[in-house]
Structure 1
Amino acid sequence: MSTRNVYERGFDEGTGQTITGTTCPECPGELETDGGETSCQACGLIVDSYYLDHGATAWTDSEADRSGKRTGPPSTATRHDRGISSEIGRAVDSRGTHLSDKKRRQLSRLRRQHSRGRWGSKAERNLTHGLVDIARLTAALDLPRSLREQASTLFRRAQGEDLLRGRSIEGMAAGCVYACCRLAGITRSLAELTECAHVSERRVLNCYRTLNETLGLPIPPRSPSEFIGPIAADIKLPQAVVSRATEVAVRAHETGVSAGKHPAGFAAACLLSAATEHGVAVQQAEIAAAAGVCAVTVRNNRESVRELAASI
């Protein structure tokens, strides 16, 4: 706790600036503090009413033992205990002093009992299993830490709604990651996800649909323009073709031409049309393989893409 008088100085809630002085800024009256508010005795102007000290807490130990460590990391949804559980050390104590053999054996026994009592129920064990899978998938797909937190929170919510019953924990974890990618606007296909997951694409899709329908996730429809870049990079198309295809895909999404169609297949058709306009030779089978669809899907969207491109 801070040892100074909190009524001598205060903090403005909006800007965090310190307010000092004993006279009113509006009149020559004196200031007084009563009930958490600093007001003028003459005109009644409230000068300050916020007294949370955002500074560092004063140290109570000696200067020699001051290590600079605070209260540990913040709580996180990526661990079943939210990261606030205690851990038993091994060879040294909190001051860095090496422990004796007898003390190390005692800590080993305590650590074993502590690990046995790590989970209070089967639900906590399942939660740990799911959160570990989410951490592995987000790391393999090079996804940000914020998405891992969001997927972990969604998995907790799914477990609270009893959506894990009769379903695979790995599939539900992969479905949470895929749903959060859709919410964040990060382009990751089901094929990429199932390559890292230990379940089939059918199970991941089933869990994703269950999450979307039961929890009412605000997932927007995918735009074909999201798939233009990865497909073009796979078959190494020039930038002029990519720019033209992106323009057509964005217009199709805005006008609703691409509604109800496979976004990756429609993006492949946009790239094929743009490549034809710029005289770049590319085969339907090659661009369909890069998009993860069949050549028939690309041909079915070719006419609508040509009509839209001619109007732009």
Structure 2
Amino acid sequence: MHPGDVYETGFDESTDRSIDADAACPECDGNVVADGGERHCTGCGLIVDDYHIDHGATAWSAPESNKDPRHIGAPRTATMHDGGLTTQIGRFRDGTGDQLDGARQRRLRRLRTQHRRARHGSKRERNLEFGLQEISRIVGVLDLTDSLDEQAAMVFRRAQRADLLRGRSIEGVAAASVHAACRCTGLPRSVDEVGAVARVTTERVRNAYSVLNDELGLPAVPQTPRDFVPKFASALGVAARLRKRALELAEFAVETGVANGRKPSGIAAACLYHATREQGQDWTQQELAAVADVTPVTLREGWQDLCEVLHDVESSRTATTEGR
């Protein structure tokens, strides 16, 4: 059977068809060369024959290509223990869409059972799948991005390869991996936020993250008050000018040392509180402290220190101006 009878475009590799350049050009008897999967004449440019097989990947995610992507499937991903190359066994219909009879459905049920048992070659793979599923659950609850899910999965895989799961709960290491991915990307997600949706206590998540940070050498970025200001401002729905002023105060607090030794989220809430007071807003310390997940005392102490430094800077500017 000719390959064109089966495939509408191109040829299959199993046809053993090849291209050589022995014949002469049928038009001008010129020299015929083979290049790029085709034979063409160097004299008149006539393409005598072509046979091109694209060995590259198909653009499955390109909707403008007008190609059927069902034979390709999704790309590989680190969020699944098998890299995304999972076999799915149907239940009620075959590949053509026809209804299966009872005997075949029972056979497929037995096949699914055996497939489920054979998916894991060892307990290590089973633990990996459970940990990656827990990471995906936490990422979904916290409404984080798919890219962060990938990064957290890579951190968990590194932890398993370094044998850091021994003696620790898989849930705790999975939650710590999510927090580690947030820290490495600069997202303002604290351990308390991740621990609130984890299936273990926050203290165990904190301990697991400490181990990951020490043993894996994570490139964690130190959190600053500026990282938390946009999050708190969006939660409160304040105006853009207040957010801009709070960001300026957050940078000022870091430069002057007000934020040294203090919780970044508390200083961010204090900066936002000071910005609202300057604009005559009626946000209370209790409301801002609840958004920042700190106590009103923490917010008030940071705000008072910020006010003192602002007052000193303003006084020195006034004295310099009068001296001139």
TM-score band (shorter)? 0.7 to 0.9
CA distance in structure 2 between the aligned counterparts of 1:307 and 1:128, rounded to whole angstroms? 53
Q: Which residue of 2 aligns with 1:23?
A: none
Q: Which residue of 2 aligns with 1:173?
A: 174
CA distance in structure 2 between the aligned counterparts of 1:56 and 1:35, rounded to whole angstroms? 18
Shift of 1:248: 1.1
Shift of 1:223: 1.8
The structure-2 alpha-carbon separation of the partners of 1:97 and 1:254, relative to structure 1 and needing over 3 Å to count, comes to farther
The structure-2 alpha-carbon separation of the partners of 1:118 and 1:53, relative to structure 1 and needing over 3 Å to count, comes to closer
Q: Which residue of 1 aligns with 2:107?
A: 106
Q: Which residue of 1 aligns with 2:200?
A: 199
Name the stretch that deviates more: 70-79 or 151-160: 70-79
Contact 1:248 1:309 in 2 (8 A): no
Q: Percent identity?
A: 45
1:269-284 paired onto structure 2 within 5 Å: 269-284=270-285
Which 5+ residue runs of structure 1 have no aligned equivalent? Answer: 9-29, 42-50, 58-65
Q: Which residue of 2 aligns with 1:127?
A: 128
CA distance in structure 2 between the aligned counterparts of 1:143 and 1:7, rounded to whole angstroms? 55
AA in 1 matched with 2:250: A
Q: Which residue of 2 aligns with 1:97?
A: 98
Shift of 1:267: 0.9
1:1-312 paired onto structure 2 within 5 Å: 3=11, 53=54, 69-235=70-236, 237-253=238-254, 257-309=258-310, 311=313
CA distance in structure 2 between the aligned counterparts of 1:182 and 1:298, rounded to whole angstroms? 23
The structure-2 alpha-carbon separation of the partners of 1:95 and 1:67, relative to structure 1 and needing over 3 Å to count, comes to farther
Contact 2:138 2:175 in 1 (8 A): yes
Shift of 1:253: 3.6
Q: Which residue of 2 aligns with 1:44?
A: none
CA distance in structure 1 between the aligned counterparts of 2:284 and 2:157, rounded to whole angstroms? 46
Contact 1:249 1:270 in 2 (8 A): yes
For residue 279 of structure 1, give the secondary structure of its aligned residue in structure 2. coil
Name the stretch that deviates more: 90-99 or 120-129: 90-99
Per-residue displacement from partner, 1:106-131 (whole Å, max 9, x unpaired)?
22222212212222211111111111
Shift of 1:204: 1.2
AA in 1 matched with 2:159: A
Which 5+ residue runs of structure 2 have no aligned equivalent? Answer: 1-8, 12-16, 22-30, 43-51, 59-66, 315-324
Contact 2:173 2:208 in 1 (8 A): yes
AA in 1 matched with 2:132: L
CA distance in structure 2 between the aligned counterparts of 1:304 and 1:228, rounded to whole angstroms? 18
**Rg larger for:** 2
For residue 163 of structure 1, give the secondary structure of its aligned residue in structure 2. coil
Contact 1:268 1:287 in 2 (8 A): yes
CA distance in structure 2 between the aligned counterparts of 1:307 and 1:161, rounded to whole angstroms? 49
Shift of 1:298: 2.2
Count of matched residue pairs: 270
AA in 2 matched with 1:104: Q
CA distance in structure 1 between the aligned counterparts of 2:259 and 2:32, rounded to whole angstroms? 67
Contact 1:133 1:173 in 2 (8 A): yes
Shift of 1:303: 4.2
Contact 1:248 1:308 in 2 (8 A): no
The structure-2 alpha-carbon separation of the partners of 1:283 and 1:82, relative to structure 1 and needing over 3 Å to count, comes to same
Structure with greater helix percent: 2
CA RMSD of aligned residues (A): 3.4
Name the stretch that deviates more: 186-195 or 206-215: 186-195
